[in-house]
Amino acid sequence: MRSKEDLRATLRRIDGRGYKAYKDIEGNFDFRDYVLHVDRAQGDPFATPSNLRVRVNQKLAGFSRDTFGNRSREIALRDFITRAFLGASRKYGKGGRGTGKSGLLTIDQPDQEILERTSVFVTEEFVEARFVMGLPAFGRKIAGRHAESMFFEELPQIVRHSLFCENIDSEVMIRHIQTAEDADALRDQLEGLDLVAFVADGAVLPRASGIDSRPLDEGKVVPFESPQSLRVTMELPNRGKISGMGIPMGVSLIVGGGYHGKSTLLKALEMGIYNHIPGDGRELVVAIPSAVKIRAEDGRRIQKVDISPFINNLPFEQKTQEFSTEDASGSTSQAANTIEALEIGARVLLIDEDTSATNFMIRDHRMQELVSKDREPITPFIDKIQQLHRDQKVSTVLVIGGSGDYFDVADSVICMVEYKPMDMTEKARAIAEKYKAERKSEGGDRFGRITQRIPLAGSFDPSKGRKAVKISPKGLKTILFGVHPIDLAGIEQIVDTSQTRAIGEAINYAVKQMDGRRTLPEVVDIVLKDIREKGLDVLSPRPVGDFAGFRNLELAAAINRLRTLGIKHS
């Protein structure tokens, strides 16, 4: 291993030379308090910034075993250190040191969620941070003195104030760790109490805006308060006893007037699959891990999905047991999205009527009279929702404001009034009894089958030009898989571009598990099992610092949206 003075000498030697000479600094350097790994030096000042790692011996870093002693605490500590490194880089990094990305020194940037990331690792032996640097240049000539300043002035300050426990506010760190641990403990208790979700009293659900996931702090913000009939008390390892609203298994409706908080509550439940940072307002809003948001998605491609539980008897004898289309309608896309989620193991469906196809959700009495069932291929969701729970053990939480017919199939009804929930279950049942629905159920006596599908490896091509594999995220909601864009806009529980990046690589990893016999759930489960056992690094041949954890549901959903996907039925 070379010394830090070797790095200084190299930077002075290549000062003023062509940019590619930065390749000479690749390798490992001993900085006494830490080891610097230059894993990849970029070849151009406008290219993707260089990849580096810093590893500090745990004897010097000083993070006690208690701060990362279980899985929940470990992920939270890694997240906290990532945020500390990011804050220090903004404080001590000077940036703007020349052409292109010159002077950039940063790390993966978390939002409100606490996710497993590859940006920081903590073990009993070491703490490691993975970050990027824009190696400085003027034009395409190396600015060696500026690089020397980055390596020997800025980086040591950043490392000292993020990777050494003695320089971190311990109270803030412990609160971060305990908040995540409590959320995990809360989530773990849900199924044992026959609940699909929980919202703590005092939670703040509204967000600053549609593009800002921080809590709303302007105007009147109404803290959440559970109705007494739905209040549940639970014991957490750090906070002790807490109370809040438990949403029971079965069919739950969220009703209320417009702008009274229906969709805000559902959105909080969607994000309840993740832990949140202290101060977010949703720290103790949780849902079971397999809860998935379902919506209509006009225009998506569908490949051999058995949508027959919802759609049958199409004109011209089109088969719906292996339904395929290049341009799905609202109803066929929502049917396919539902079946695909069930295929992968979703246990809770979260649905908002605002993003649903009306004809998929309901067919009223008058329409039944005008268009007879033998001429209507769609069996509406209202006639399948209870069968889902009975036959498939899948619960539904549905935001609805336009059809009281759903009162007939609801197990609980939560009415939002000025952002306050009220239990209206008994009143809704009384209304349903008083005003009998005239519509006829069209769902038959059982939900129907969930057909397993087998993905075909030959339908995946990650190559682009001369590169055998070229996969990259284009923002949060698009993956470029070779030359094929995968549109993730309909997958609403992806919250971080680092998840998108990891999912893209996971698709390529999944292809290696496709042998023409394994079903899509089996393939996806192998990928997630390998990640659990070996970490997200299993997805890349080299260390990367910008992967974040994801679920099997999002990986399968992305695969289903690859427009070249080939499928056969098992």
The residue among 526, 356, 378, 366 whose CA lies nearest residue 442 is: 378
For the cut 80, the answer to whether the pLDDT of residue 408 exceeds it is yes
Question: What is the reported pLDDT for 316?
Answer: 72
Residue 414 CB neighbour total at 10 angstroms: 26
3-state secondary structure of 233: strand
Q: What is the mean pLDDT of residues 298-304?
A: 97
Note the pLDDT tens digit of each residue in 112-171: 999 999 999 999 999 999 999 999 999 999 999 999 999 999 999 999 999 999 999 999
Q: CA 234 to CA 223: how far, in whole Å? A: 19
Question: What is the reported pLDDT for 95?
Answer: 84
Q: What is the mean pLDDT of residues 333-337?
A: 98
Q: What is the mean pLDDT of residues 445-462?
A: 96
Tokens of 531: 């990640």
For the cut 80, the answer to whether the pLDDT of residue 218 exceeds it is no
For the cut 80, the answer to whether the pLDDT of residue 405 exceeds it is yes
Q: Residue 225: how many CA atoms within 13 Å on its side-chain side?
A: 8
Note the pLDDT tens digit of each residue in 258-284: 989 999 999 999 999 999 999 999 999
3-state secondary structure of 47: coil
Question: What is the reported pLDDT for 21?
Answer: 97
Q: What is the mean pLDDT of residues 471-476?
A: 96
Q: CA 146 to CA 161: how far, in whole Å? A: 22
For the cut 80, the answer to whether the pLDDT of residue 547 exceeds it is yes
For the cut 80, the answer to whether the pLDDT of residue 455 exceeds it is yes
The residues, ordered by sequence, that sit 6+ positions from 436 with a Cβ below 8 Å of its Cβ are none
Q: What is the mean pLDDT of residues 442-451?
A: 94
Residue 210: burial class (beta carbons within 10 Å; 0-12, 13-18, 19+)? exposed
Q: What is the mean pLDDT of residues 543-561?
A: 98
Q: CA 351 to CA 394: how far, in whole Å? A: 13
Q: What is the mean pLDDT of residues 405-417?
A: 97
Q: CA 115 to CA 549: how far, in whole Å? A: 6
The DSSP result for 375-428, as a single string, is G--B--GGGTHHHHHHHH--EEEEE-SS-GGGGGG-SEEEEEETTEEEE-HHHH
The residue among 121, 281, 141 whose CA lies nearest residue 214 is: 281
The amino acid occupying position 489 is A
Q: CA 474 to CA 167: how far, in whole Å? A: 37
Backbone φ, ψ for residue 443 (5° rounding): -95, 0
The residue among 138, 137, 130 whose CA lies nearest residue 159 is: 130
User: What is the overall mean pLDDT for the chain?
Assistant: 96
State percent of the chain over pLDDT 90.
94
Which residue shows structure tokens 């490896």?
457
Q: CA 388 to CA 252: how far, in whole Å? A: 13
Note the pLDDT tens digit of each residue in 71-92: 999 999 999 999 999 999 999 9
Residue 516 banded pLDDT, cuts 50, 70, 90:
very high
Residue 183: burial class (beta carbons within 10 Å; 0-12, 13-18, 19+)? buried
3-state secondary structure of 81: helix
Q: What is the mean pLDDT of residues 356-381?
A: 94
Q: CA 555 to CA 503: how far, in whole Å? A: 6
Residue 315 banded pLDDT, cuts 50, 70, 90:
confident
211-214's contacts with Cβ under 8 Å and 24+ in sequence apart are 213/111, 213/112, 213/495, 214/112, 214/280
Q: CA 561 to CA 570: how far, in whole Å? A: 20
3-state secondary structure of 551: coil
Question: What is the reported pLDDT for 477?
Answer: 97
Q: CA 137 to CA 139: how far, in whole Å? A: 6
Q: CA 266 to CA 494: how far, in whole Å? A: 15
For the cut 80, the answer to whether the pLDDT of residue 219 exceeds it is no
Q: What is the mean pLDDT of residues 7-36?
A: 97
User: Three-state secondary structure along 179-194?
Assistant: HHHHHHHHHHHCHHHC
Q: What is the mean pLDDT of residues 300-321?
A: 91
> Pairing mode, if any, of strands 478-481 and 35-40?
unpaired
3-state secondary structure of 276: strand
3-state secondary structure of 46: coil
The residue among 83, 133, 88, 127 whose CA lies nearest residue 108 is: 83
For the cut 90, the answer to whether the pLDDT of residue 318 exceeds it is no
Element (H, E) at 2: strand 2-3
Question: What is the reported pLDDT for 437?
Answer: 87
- The overall longest dimension of the chain from CA atoms, in Å, is 88
Element (H, E) at 509: helix 497-511
Q: What is the mean pLDDT of residues 345-369?
A: 96
Q: CA 269 to CA 224: how far, in whole Å? A: 13
Q: What is the mean pLDDT of residues 512-529?
A: 98
Question: What is the reported pLDDT for 84?
Answer: 98
What's this model's pTM, rounded to 2 decimal places?
Answer: 0.96
Q: CA 190 to CA 356: how far, in whole Å? A: 27
For the cut 90, the answer to whether the pLDDT of residue 469 exceeds it is yes
